[in-house]
Amino acid sequence: MGKKYYQEDIECAPREEISKWQSEGLVRSVRNAYENSEYYRGKMEERGVKPSDVKGVEDIHKLPFVSKEDLREAYPYGLLCRPLSECVRIQSTSGTTGRRVIAFYTQHDIDAWEECCARAIVAAGGTRDDVVQVSYGYGLFTGGAGLNGGSHKLGSLTLPMSSGSTERQIQFMQDLGTTILCCTPSYAAYLGETVSEKGLKGTIKLKAGIFGAEAWSEEMRRDIEEKLGIKAYDIYGLTELEGPGVGYECEEQRGMHICEDQFIAEIIDPNTGETMPDGEKGELVFTSLNKEAFPMIRYRTRDICVLSHEKCSCGRTHVRMAKPMGRSDDMLIIKGVNVFPSQIETVLINNGYSPNYQLVVDRVNNADTLDINVEMNQEMFSDTLSEISARERALVGALKGFLGIYARVHLVSPKSIERSEGKAKRVIDKRKLY
Amino acid sequence: MAVKQISVFMENRPGTLAEFVELLRGHGIDMRALSLAEAADFGVLRTIVSDPDKAQRVLAEAGFISAVTPVLAVAVSDEPGALYHILETLKNAGINLEYSYAFTTRKNQGAYMVFRVADDCLQKTAELLEENGIGMIAQEEIYSL
């Protein structure tokens, strides 16, 4: 057995100490944002707040929220608080055209992020003697880089596999005795299925997995644990904040401990913006405490969640977040890509179809599928199938180009998609993730 | 010489064809020829009816998507090689058929082929068939067959 914690003095710090860090960090972060980003300064001035008004964590409600729209508007440098010469890396969301968000990191920011990931690996039972296979995508996506860095920090043998090439993934697991697997839960489920179908469970030495970047259910957890013979841990994060490691599960597997020395987590009412008490369901909002290049002040994640300060028997004192239970906006995450129904609407209209459509999202063999029912109209109709099919293919191509993922299109009769008097029911998500 | 054919978009689910036929029945519209081409999720129904203008109006009111397309209804005599003779004539003139289907008549046990050619060679095709002694039927005559 190795250490139970990566940074015990931080992870198990008494509440008073955490509060002190948070107050100091908040003051520091607000000043950093105000002084170095015109965009942040503008937002704070609009709200009539000066850095001197924020003396501690109790003043956080005075600050304006930052949303994904702000990040888009300020793209690329509007929220940057350090000269580029001090930045060492950029990562980006998997976001689609027009929604892409890039984040900047100084070396200090990277170190803090990787420490959070190292904590997650240790919380999943990892030690420097473990072999950690990182099968998240690398590149701009934060998954690969984050866990890779965390594993390095811990001193584990790190296999930077990236995603895909399932046979090779399993081969490496067998040959190098991988003990900890890091990837998306859907890829873990796929690997589990392959391992179990080929009867290879006895040939691999996995003991734990760290799976995030996607919503997944308890059923899926049990399935992965059974098929790979491991304990499966959830991890939470987002590029806007740093990447994976903002929150991570301990051996209790009952909520993810949020790294409270790095972030203040709040739950707000998504409609009013009012802060909500512990145990109540609302939108998760984060404020970074130590980020230099890209501080986030009250960033609205859109994830609907519950926080708990209840004592955890693992000994960690940091607040826990439940698995997100949905989103406060209409964003769908399909194959790891952020998809907004409004984007699909735009493509349909640009291609001559009516904005009456229905999206059906499902998960087949652990991979997301997107089907779009589109109403035929007079302009798109022709008496030859080949012409209609060509138009259909053009639409599929336009969707792929715009969204970055493949969607099956089904042409249906006009007026056959249900109209509702209130908000249209545009999305049928059969994945049962929340 | 062209005949007005009605083409209708049919979603691929049980009952769409029945709804269509029921609609025509309700308005006393008779069908003389019918063909249904299918793709994965939908089909295109093509029909020649007694009153195409009325049919299109009725279909639009009922929410169907339809179009009126000019096609040629070509008489084919009941003997080996008759269809080949017609097709050879088209082939030699470089005329391409987009689609075709057949229907028979009560009179003389006669058969007709419906030919859909590109709009810009419709006139040329009709003239060519006439020059080669190949009979066609006009819209107003189709119901007297």
- Region A332-433: CATH code: 3.30.300.30
Q: How far is it, in rounded angstroms, from Cα A52 to Cα A403?
A: 43
**CATH code of residue B37:** 3.30.2130.10
DSSP structure class, residue A330: S
Distance CA A396, CA B1 (A): 39
pLDDT at position A1: 46
Contact A413 B5 (CB under 8 A): no
Q: Which residues contact B75 (CB under 8 A, 6 or more apart)?
A: B110, B111, B112, B134, B135, B136, B137
CATH of the domain at B127: 3.30.70.260
Which of A378, A383, A415 minimises the CB distance to B44?
A383
Q: Where in chain A is the domain with CATH 3.30.300.30?
A: 332-433
Let me know whether B76 and B95 are in one domain.
Answer: yes
CB contact under 8 A, B42 and A388: yes
> What is the third-level CATH fold of A1-325?
Rossmann fold (3.40.50)
pLDDT in tens, B98-123: 999 999 887 766 799 999 999 999 99
Locate tokens 């806007």: which residue?
A: A240
Strands A157-160 and A307-308: unpaired
Say yes or no to pLDDT of B41 above 90.
no
**Mean pLDDT computed over every residue of chain B:** 92
Do residues B86 and B131 share a domain? yes
* Residue A196 to residues A179, A208, A228, A392, Cα–Cα distance (Å): 17, 16, 8, 39
Residue B123 dihedral angles phi and psi, to the nearest 5°? -60, -45
C-alpha to C-alpha distance for A161 and A169, rounded to whole angstroms: 7
Nearest residue on chain A to B41, judged by CA atoms? A410
**Torsion angle, CA of A377/A381/A385/A386, rounded to 10 degrees?**
-110
Q: How far apart are CA A332 and CA A77, in angstroms?
A: 27
The backbone torsions φ and ψ at residue A230, rounded to the nearest 5 degrees and listed phi first, read -130, 180
B54 and B117 fall within a common domain:
no
Tell me which residue in A384, A410, A413 faces B9 most closely, judged by beta carbons: A413
The backbone torsions φ and ψ at residue A414, rounded to the nearest 5 degrees and listed phi first, read -60, 145
For testing contact with chain B, the best of A354, A382, A383, A419 (most B CBs within 10 A): A383
Question: What pLDDT shows up at residue B139?
Answer: 85
The answer to whether residues A250 and A4 touch, using CB atoms and an 8 Å cutoff, is no
Angle between helices A142-154 and A107-123 (to 10 degrees): 70
Q: ipTM of this predicted complex?
A: 0.89
Same domain, B78 and B138: yes
Q: For residue B63, what are the domain limits?
A: 3-69
Average pLDDT per block of 10 residues along chain A, 434 residues long: 86 97 98 98 97 97 95 93 98 67 96 98 97 94 96 97 92 97 89 91 97 82 93 96 97 97 96 92 96 98 94 97 85 83 81 84 88 91 92 93 90 80 70 70
What's the total number of domains in chain B?
A: 2
| C-alpha neighbours within 13 Å on the C-beta side of residue A32 | 22
Instruction: Provide the token pair at A348.
Output: 């349909």
Both tokens of residue A241?
């904040």
Please indicate, yes or no, whether residues B46 and B103 belong to a single structural domain of this protein.
no
Using an 8 Å Cβ cutoff, are B36 and B17 in contact?
yes
Nearest chain B CA: its distance from A415 CA (Å): 7
Question: Is A385 within 8 Å of B39 when comparing Cβ atoms?
Answer: yes
Give residues with Cβ within 8 angstroms of A355, minimum separation 6.
A345, A348, A349
Residues B75 and B140 placed together within one structural domain of the fold: yes
In chain B, residues with a C-beta closer than 8 Å to the C-beta of A413 are: 9-11, 16, 63-65
Token couple for B136: 């066609």
Q: What is the pLDDT of residue A236?
A: 97
